Structure 1
Amino acid sequence: MPSNLDPEVAQRLRRNEAGLVPAIVQEHGTGEVLMLAWMDDEALHRTLTTGRATYWSRSRNEYWVKGQTSGHFQHVKAVALDCDGDSLLITVEQTGAACHTGNHTCFFTPLEVTG
């Protein structure tokens, strides 16, 4: 799919077989990890140019702006590409819950470590 993403940024991305890169979303100020989402080149371009977190929905096969239907927006403060180019860190100011369950973060289910 064509994108307006800066070619220098696009060249650094290492996408999976579906053309996507995982985006780890972290809350500005607290550092709390809120969620994991997926971006293609166009979603990243939209995020960088609008300041509103835009992702690719694998289940709906469409772009979605976080908060567009829920009102729980993510206002982007920073975007960083990891050293291998295969994941993104999106730092946001979160309005309301990040998780579709209504929880502030998607990571609310602890697992027992026994080793």
Structure 2
Amino acid sequence: MTKDELETGTTLAPRFDANGLIAAVATHAGTGEVLMLAWMNAEALQKTIDTGEAHYWSRSRGELWHKGATSGQVQVVDELRIDCDQDAVWLKVRPQGDGGACHTGRRSCFYRAVEGGRLVARP
């Protein structure tokens, strides 16, 4: 595939890293809030496309992860985008359950800000 085909064509050709993964950013489809950054392998990406629900690859557990399968915080995908060189994806999702995305129970994994080199909780 040429650079032009990769960047402007209509063929989905994700470029996974050496570990077979691609970065996936999930934002809330309604508010635009960044919910989480996760990783997908080819199977997770395909399952996400096929089911309309977010699937990721858990690097810590070394397994496919259907977001919300145990917590109820399923992420229904409104739109899936891929960046210009097809090495990152952006999912616009509608969280189900209590609306949380973080394993800590928070709405977003990005719940702390860096101020003066320290972490400060933010809503």
SS of 1:43 mapped into structure 2: helix
In 1, the alpha carbon distance for the partners of 2:116 and 2:30 equals 28
Cα RMSD for the two superposed structures: 1.3
Aligned AA for 1:18? N
In 1, the alpha carbon distance for the partners of 2:16 and 2:65 equals 19
- Displacement after TM superposition at 1:113 (Å): 6.5
1:47 aligns with 2:24: no
1:107 aligns with 2:107: no
Q: Which has the higher strand share?
A: 2
Structure 1 runs of 4+ aligned residues shifted over 2 Å read none
Matches for 1:21-32 after TM superposition, within 5 Å: 21-32=22-33
Aligned AA for 2:59? R
Question: How many pairs were matched up?
Answer: 105
Structure 1 unaligned residues grouped into runs of 5+? 1-7
TM-score normalised over the length of structure 1: 0.86
Deviations 1:16-69 (A, max 9, x none): 110100000010011000000101111111000101100111111111110001
Deviations 1:65-99 (A, max 9, x none): 10001011100111000001110001100122100
Task: Decide which structure has the larger Cα Rg and report it.
Answer: 2
Structure 2 unaligned residues grouped into runs of 5+? 1-10, 118-123
Aligned AA for 2:110? F
Give % identity. Answer: 49
SS of 1:111 mapped into structure 2: strand
In 2, the alpha carbon distance for the partners of 1:48 and 1:100 equals 23
